[in-house]
Structure 1
Amino acid sequence: MLATHSPYHLQSALLCAKNIENIQGCVLLQTSASYAYDTRKVIAQARSYAREFKKLSISKDRICIKIPCTGPALNASPILLKEGIYTLGTSLFSVAQAIAASQADVLSISPYYNFPWYHTDREQWPNVEDPALDHPMSPRIVRTQQIYKRLQEETGKTQPLLKPASFISAREAMAMAELSCDHATIPKDILL
């Protein structure tokens, strides 16, 4: 039997509700990374979040559930979209994942600009002077944009918004404007 409710889901929804007036667009909650390869569990957790938001009078058009860009998790996206629940593809490191996210009808993708371990092992981090030109993730973002533009032109289908994350420096975050990304998830240590 799938766990479809958790006190954490309620607490997460309550935190979002306290801040919803300060947020344009959707609030975001993430499914458990341990569900990355289980479509049914991703769907169950997303539905649980949606139920908690409904109890707080937050409509589905104001929520977006972050799901990993794995095949099984992305399979949940079209099912959830039919129920009015938007998704954002996260844990995205490649152009192939970005294409799969488009095929899954996610609202947005969140390419990780840096691998997670760069945050703890700075010797591996590509600390470049001009991230838009020299960071190894920048060409993937540009290529994704090119592919999304082509898909939009050829199919007429709206493509996911690009909302990169996992920045270590302010230069990297600012490079997202140079790369014409739609949004960016910027950590508070860079903002302050």
Structure 2
Amino acid sequence: MATLMFPIGHCLGTYYTDSADDHVQQVRLGGEIVELSDEEFTVWSLAHGMSDEAGQAVWDRTRIMTLLTSDFPAEVIDRLLDRHLLAEVDMDDPTTFAVRHRLLPLQLGLGNTTDVPAMFRSGTTDLPLAGMSRVLYDLWLWAHLSPNLLAACKEHQIDLKAVLNTLHALLTPNAACLDFAAPEQP
């Protein structure tokens, strides 16, 4: 099976200090705010996927490097992996990743419509940005209450590999983000 790459953290935007040239990109990672260079942010952003390719491409290291210019330094990916801002997930054994991370919703839940009752949406009140099945929608709504993604999948009786294989459809439009797992309650 494939090894997928996922971005970890919630984008907080650009932070300017003194001038337009003096800035960083900020990402909330757990309880910390980390700073990324523009180069790092480019890779981190690409790891979310691309809307015109949603569901069509395998998002792994090779795909990300293909989308970058030929002179882009490949070690940026390794640097982000070392900083836990990217995660490579071996789909033959994704449980370690799922125990260490959780899924957080970032958009409004919009429910379904009478026109397409099987499709549930998230986005803004004016613009639906992501569509998902009822099962994935329920996970998206409630996974943040579980300590980690594996526990959320078990609680909602959803196959972990199926979730991971479709997760970029939620990451690309920023309907959700992945973050560190929460401590389990006794």
TM-score normalised per structure 2: 0.29
TM-score normalised per structure 1: 0.29
Identify the structure with the greater helix proportion: 1
Identify the structure with the greater strand proportion: 2
